[in-house]
Amino acid sequence: MGFRFGQTVFRDRRAILTDPYNPTRTIGEGDWDPAQTIPLQGAFVASSSSVSRSDATRSQILTEKSLYLTDPAADVLARDRIRVGGTQGDLASGTPYLVDARPDADVNPYTGTQAALEIPLTLIEG
Protein backbone atom coordinates (compact mmCIF):
# COMPACT_ATOMS: atom_id res chain seq x y z
CA MET A 1 0.00 0.00 0.00
CA GLY A 2 1.25 3.46 -0.81
CA PHE A 3 -0.09 6.98 -0.83
CA ARG A 4 -0.66 7.83 -4.47
CA PHE A 5 -0.19 11.55 -3.86
CA GLY A 6 2.14 11.34 -0.85
CA GLN A 7 4.90 13.86 -0.30
CA THR A 8 8.49 13.81 0.93
CA VAL A 9 9.03 15.11 4.45
CA PHE A 10 12.32 15.33 6.35
CA ARG A 11 13.10 13.76 9.72
CA ASP A 12 15.65 15.72 11.79
CA ARG A 13 17.30 14.21 14.86
CA ARG A 14 19.59 16.01 17.25
CA ALA A 15 22.95 14.47 18.11
CA ILE A 16 23.24 12.79 21.51
CA LEU A 17 25.68 14.50 23.87
CA THR A 18 28.01 12.35 25.94
CA ASP A 19 29.60 13.13 29.28
CA PRO A 20 33.17 14.34 28.59
CA TYR A 21 34.34 12.56 31.75
CA ASN A 22 32.49 9.31 31.06
CA PRO A 23 31.97 8.71 27.31
CA THR A 24 29.63 5.76 27.96
CA ARG A 25 27.11 8.07 29.70
CA THR A 26 24.75 10.31 27.73
CA ILE A 27 23.77 13.70 29.15
CA GLY A 28 21.17 14.96 26.70
CA GLU A 29 20.59 16.15 23.17
CA GLY A 30 22.50 18.75 21.21
CA ASP A 31 21.23 21.57 19.02
CA TRP A 32 19.19 21.09 15.87
CA ASP A 33 22.12 22.34 13.80
CA PRO A 34 23.77 20.04 12.87
CA ALA A 35 20.99 17.48 12.81
CA GLN A 36 20.85 14.04 11.25
CA THR A 37 18.35 14.47 8.41
CA ILE A 38 16.76 11.79 6.28
CA PRO A 39 13.94 12.04 3.73
CA LEU A 40 10.74 10.09 4.33
CA GLN A 41 9.13 9.60 0.95
CA GLY A 42 5.49 8.96 0.24
CA ALA A 43 4.31 10.46 3.54
CA PHE A 44 0.91 11.97 4.26
CA VAL A 45 0.42 14.72 6.87
CA ALA A 46 -3.16 15.33 8.04
CA SER A 47 -4.65 17.97 10.31
CA SER A 48 -5.96 16.97 13.69
CA SER A 49 -6.73 20.08 15.77
CA SER A 50 -5.58 23.56 16.81
CA VAL A 51 -5.92 25.17 20.22
CA SER A 52 -5.26 28.81 21.12
CA ARG A 53 -3.87 29.29 24.64
CA SER A 54 -3.31 32.67 26.22
CA ASP A 55 -2.28 33.94 29.62
CA ALA A 56 -1.02 37.28 30.97
CA THR A 57 2.46 36.86 29.49
CA ARG A 58 2.12 34.58 26.51
CA SER A 59 -0.16 33.74 23.62
CA GLN A 60 0.41 30.56 21.66
CA ILE A 61 -1.26 28.21 19.24
CA LEU A 62 -0.81 24.46 19.47
CA THR A 63 -1.47 22.66 16.20
CA GLU A 64 -1.71 18.89 16.20
CA LYS A 65 -1.26 16.83 13.06
CA SER A 66 -0.60 13.22 12.23
CA LEU A 67 2.15 11.84 10.03
CA TYR A 68 1.15 8.71 8.12
CA LEU A 69 3.86 6.42 6.74
CA THR A 70 3.45 3.18 4.83
CA ASP A 71 6.76 1.85 6.22
CA PRO A 72 6.14 0.67 9.81
CA ALA A 73 9.91 0.41 10.35
CA ALA A 74 10.61 4.06 9.43
CA ASP A 75 13.36 5.66 11.51
CA VAL A 76 11.22 8.12 13.49
CA LEU A 77 11.42 8.48 17.27
CA ALA A 78 9.74 10.64 19.89
CA ARG A 79 11.43 14.09 20.13
CA ASP A 80 12.48 14.04 16.44
CA ARG A 81 11.43 16.91 14.21
CA ILE A 82 9.43 16.42 11.01
CA ARG A 83 9.74 19.20 8.42
CA VAL A 84 6.94 19.48 5.89
CA GLY A 85 8.06 21.36 2.79
CA GLY A 86 11.50 22.87 2.42
CA THR A 87 14.71 21.08 1.49
CA GLN A 88 16.88 18.43 3.09
CA GLY A 89 19.97 20.62 3.41
CA ASP A 90 18.26 23.76 4.78
CA LEU A 91 17.17 23.10 8.38
CA ALA A 92 15.38 26.48 8.51
CA SER A 93 13.04 25.57 5.64
CA GLY A 94 9.67 23.91 5.95
CA THR A 95 7.24 23.76 8.85
CA PRO A 96 8.80 22.00 11.87
CA TYR A 97 6.56 19.63 13.84
CA LEU A 98 7.77 17.74 16.90
CA VAL A 99 7.08 14.01 17.19
CA ASP A 100 5.03 13.42 20.35
CA ALA A 101 5.27 9.63 20.46
CA ARG A 102 6.26 6.66 18.33
CA PRO A 103 3.43 4.11 18.41
CA ASP A 104 3.68 0.71 16.80
CA ALA A 105 1.83 -0.06 13.59
CA ASP A 106 -1.08 -2.41 14.20
CA VAL A 107 -1.03 -5.81 12.53
CA ASN A 108 -4.30 -7.16 11.15
CA PRO A 109 -4.92 -10.45 13.01
CA TYR A 110 -6.72 -11.97 10.00
CA THR A 111 -4.33 -11.13 7.18
CA GLY A 112 -1.06 -10.31 8.97
CA THR A 113 -0.74 -7.04 7.05
CA GLN A 114 0.17 -3.71 8.59
CA ALA A 115 -1.72 -0.57 7.73
CA ALA A 116 -0.14 2.87 7.63
CA LEU A 117 1.74 3.99 10.72
CA GLU A 118 0.20 7.08 12.38
CA ILE A 119 2.63 9.31 14.31
CA PRO A 120 1.24 12.27 16.31
CA LEU A 121 2.91 15.65 15.68
CA THR A 122 2.70 19.06 17.39
CA LEU A 123 3.55 22.57 16.17
CA ILE A 124 3.90 25.27 18.85
CA GLU A 125 3.66 28.86 17.70
CA GLY A 126 4.12 31.88 19.95
Contacts of 123 (CB under 8 A, 6+ apart): 62, 63, 64, 65, 95, 96, 97, 98
Which has the closest alpha carbon to 123: 47, 69, 17?
A: 47
What's the confidence (pLDDT) of residue 52? 72
Q: What is the pLDDT of residue 56?
A: 64
Flag whether 99 is in a domain.
yes
> Across the chain, what does the average pLDDT equal?
85
Q: Is residue 54 part of a domain?
A: no
**Higher pLDDT pick, 23 / 60:** 23
Q: Is residue 95 part of a domain?
A: yes
Q: Report the number of distinct structural domains present in the chain.
A: 1
The reply to whether 57 falls in a domain is no
Instruction: Kindly state whether residue 40 falls inside one of the protein's structural domains.
Output: yes
| Domain region containing 26 | 7-44+69-117
CB neighbours of residue 47 within 10 Å = 9
Q: Is residue 55 part of a domain?
A: no
Per-residue pLDDT tens for 35-59? 899 999 989 898 876 667 666 677 7
Instruction: Give dist(CA 38, CA 74) in Å, integer.
Output: 10
Mean pLDDT value across residues 68-84? 91
For residues 60 and 21, give the distance between their C-alpha atoms in angstroms, rounded to a whole number. 40
| Residue 1 counted as domain residue | no
- Average pLDDT, stretch 90-110? 86
For the chain, the residue count is: 126
Whether the Cβ atoms of residue 38 and residue 19 lie closer than 8 Å to each other = no
* Structural domain includes residue 100: yes
